[in-house]
């Protein structure tokens, strides 16, 4: 399979949506509050997202500059967003009563977006899923005694059967995010991983059903890309066989599901920097929204997406189709590169000059990306030293750019450098 679209597009939308949108206090609420199935049932009984319009989601994603969307088909709570033949625990049995997935897929396609599914390997509802240290009933001795004989093989069959449904019932699926493996982790007990999920078989089936799909690395076996979560890698990522495609998944406020009272929002500026930072290290950004119980992306998330979109409209060229550069960026800057275009992202705006090591004689033209205004080049003069009114003393090979005093009014200014072939 080729990951060309994935490496090219660079920016996608993650959507965490399910019953947990109703309690509106994090998608792990069932675990955190140790809720029983009976207690959690109230959300199933009241799930009725009357404002669900995936075309709005897809348009918001598109306008933000995203080119693929990944939706939770099932999260750890086990609730299914499609009309699965393998369970009753699905949207068609809620008051809403209709499949949510096909309209989502159609909406993405209509906006020219690639389609991804997130699917939880963990299941806190399935009667054959063995209780472990992450299960909501992990401390309930009666429950655990009753659950002692659970047959993991039954759950495995269910898991594989549902993945088969997802990959045969909705046309081409471009991307799959399994979540997650925790075998042998020290912070919990009863952890599960590749063996428990039957990951080798599962992945073989996925590739057979959707030969072009990209699969993540969380089944416990290597996948097509790795998934740093809620942190920014320090540089390009590598697997056992060398450099590997990666995608950081990031939240707006630390929660994936709708979390009404959580205002720990990242600013659009910060998110734009994170996008740039990732591409400068050859990675993607999958930025999450958690629509609410009526199916809407809440206004503050929409405002953030719009602000990112405003920046992307002017600076798409420095993100899309770009990756890491072999040149080393000066302090407070990030480079991205596509062929002979080198993009200098200025995370802070210096006064009048920025010095670019190794670029003397390598740049034919430079402009501000936001308005295509020329940026003048000062080629180095080795004999020139600092004098009263002029800078100097840069190491040989340094190219200096002359900047306007006034910083362009965009979240992060970008200078586009047209490289000339090295002599
Ligand atoms: C984690 C969490 C989860 C979230 C996911 C996104 O593994 O369990 O709630 O869906 O990461 O990457």
In this structure, the strands spanning 414-419 and 341-346 are: antiparallel
Q: What's the CA-to-centroid distance between 173 and ligand 1, angstroms?
A: 20
Same fold, 4-318 and 333-419: no
Paired tokens of 400: 């200096």
Report whether residue 256 contacts ligand 1, using a CB cutoff of 6 Å: yes
In this structure, the strands spanning 376-378 and 399-402 are: antiparallel
Q: In the 8-state DSSP scheme, what is residue 229?
A: B
Paired tokens of 254: 């630390």
Q: What's the CA-to-centroid distance between 179 and ligand 1, angstroms?
A: 7
Q: Which CATH architecture has domain 333-419?
A: Sandwich (2.60)
In this structure, the strands spanning 11-15 and 283-289 are: parallel
What is the pLDDT, as a whole number, of residue 387?
67
Is a pLDDT exceeding 70 seen at residue 384?
Answer: no
- E strand segments, 158-311: 175-179, 214-215, 238-239, 242-243, 246-250, 283-289
Is a pLDDT exceeding 90 seen at residue 39?
Answer: yes
Q: Taking the CB of residue 373, how many other CB atoms lie within 10 A of it?
A: 10
pTM score over 0.95: yes
Q: What's the CA-to-centroid distance between 22 and ligand 1, angstroms?
A: 18
Report whether residue 228 contacts ligand 1, using a CB cutoff of 6 Å: no
Domain boundaries, the chain: 4-318, 333-419
Report whether residue 217 contacts ligand 1, using a CB cutoff of 6 Å: no
Mean pLDDT of the 144-152 span: 97
CB 334 within 8 Å of CB 276 = yes
Q: Domain 4-318 falls in which CATH fold?
A: TIM Barrel (3.20.20)
| Helix 199-209 / helix 152-168 crossing angle, nearest 10 deg | 10
In this structure, the residue with its CA closest to atom 2 of ligand 1 is 179
Give 192-203 pLDDT, tens digit per residue: 999 999 999 999
How crowded is the C-beta side of 282, counted as CA atoms within 13 Å?
Answer: 15
Distances (CA, A) of 217 to 148, 163, 233, 421: 30, 16, 16, 38
In this structure, the residue with its CA closest to atom 4 of ligand 1 is 256
Give 311-361 pLDDT, tens digit per residue: 999 999 999 999 999 999 999 999 999 999 999 999 999 999 999 999 999
Give 344-357 pLDDT, tens digit per residue: 999 999 999 999 99
CA dist., res. 398 & res. 387, Å (int): 18
Mean pLDDT of the 248-259 span: 98
Is a pLDDT exceeding 80 seen at residue 379?
Answer: no
Instruction: Give the pLDDT band (50/70/90) at residue 240.
Output: confident
CA dist., res. 40 & res. 125, Å (int): 10
What is the pLDDT, as a whole number, of residue 2?
85
Report whether residue 27 contacts ligand 1, using a CB cutoff of 6 Å: yes
Q: Which atom of ligand 1 is nearest to the CA of 230?
A: 12
Q: Which residue has the higher pLDDT, 423 or 379?
A: 379
Neighbouring residues of 280: CB distance < 8 A, sequence distance ≥ 6: 324, 325, 329, 334, 335, 336, 345
CA dist., res. 299 & res. 161, Å (int): 37
Q: Taking the CB of residue 151, how many other CB atoms lie within 10 A of it?
A: 12
Report whether residue 249 contacts ligand 1, using a CB cutoff of 6 Å: yes
Is a pLDDT exceeding 80 seen at residue 423?
Answer: no
Report whether residue 277 contacts ligand 1, using a CB cutoff of 6 Å: no
CA dist., res. 105 & res. 113, Å (int): 9
Q: What's the CA-to-centroid distance between 94 and ligand 1, angstroms?
A: 24
CA dist., res. 29 & res. 14, Å (int): 19
What is the tally of helices (H) and strands (E) in the chain? 11, 16
In this structure, the residue with its CA closest to atom 5 of ligand 1 is 179
Q: Which atom of ligand 1 is nearest to the CA of 229?
A: 12
Neighbouring residues of 185: CB distance < 8 A, sequence distance ≥ 6: 191
């Amino acid at each position: 399979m080729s990951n060309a679209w994935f490496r090219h597009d660079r920016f996608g939308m993650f959507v965490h949506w399910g019953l947990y949108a109703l309690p509106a206090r994090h998608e792990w609420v069932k675990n955190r509050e140790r809720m029983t199935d009976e207690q959690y049932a109230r959300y199933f009984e009241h799930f009725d997202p009357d404002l669900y319009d995936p075309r709005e989601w897809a348009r918001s994603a598109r306008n933000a500059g995203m080119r693929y969307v990944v939706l939770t088909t099932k999260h750890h709570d086990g609730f299914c967003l499609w009309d699965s033949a393998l369970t009753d625990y699905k949207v068609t049995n809620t008051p809403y009563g209709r499949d949510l997935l096909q309209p989502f897929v159609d909406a993405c396609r209509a906006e020219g977006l690639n389609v991804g599914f997130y699917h939880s390997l963990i299941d806190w509802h399935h009667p054959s899923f063995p209780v472990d240290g992450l299960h909501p009933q992990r401390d309930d001795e009666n429950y655990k005694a009753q659950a002692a004989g659970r047959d993991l093989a039954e759950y495995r069959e269910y898991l594989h059967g549902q993945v088969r449904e997802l990959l045969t019932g909705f046309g081409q699926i471009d991307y799959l995010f399994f979540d997650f493996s925790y075998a042998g982790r020290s912070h919990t007990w009863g952890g599960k991983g590749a063996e428990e999920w039957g990951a080798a078989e599962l992945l073989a089936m996925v590739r057979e059903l959707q030969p072009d799909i990209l699969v993540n690395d969380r089944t416990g076996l290597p996948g097509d890309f790795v998934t740093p979560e809620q942190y920014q890698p320090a540089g390009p990522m590598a697997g056992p066989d060398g450099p590997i495609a990666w995608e950081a998944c990031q939240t707006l406020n630390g929660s994936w599901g709708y979390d009404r009272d959580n205002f720990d929002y990242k600013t659009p500026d910060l998110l734009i920097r994170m996008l740039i930072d990732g591409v400068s290290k050859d990675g993607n950004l999958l930025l999450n929204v958690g629509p609410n119980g009526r199916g809407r992306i809440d206004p503050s998330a929409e405002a953030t997406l719009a602000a990112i979109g405003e920046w992307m409209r002017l600076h798409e060229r420095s993100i899309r189709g770009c990756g890491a550069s072999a040149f080393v960026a000066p302090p407070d800057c990030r480079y991205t590169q596509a062929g002979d275009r080198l993009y200098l992202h200025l995370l802070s705006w210096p006064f009048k000059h920025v010095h670019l090591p190794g670029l003397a004689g390598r740049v034919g033209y430079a402009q501000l990306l936001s308005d295509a205004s020329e940026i003048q080049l000062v080629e180095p003069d080795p004999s020139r030293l600092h004098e009263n009114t002029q800078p100097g003393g840069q190491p040989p090979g340094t190219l200096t750019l002359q900047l306007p005093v006034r910083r362009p009014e965009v979240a992060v200014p970008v200078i586009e450098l047209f490289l000339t072939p090295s002599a």
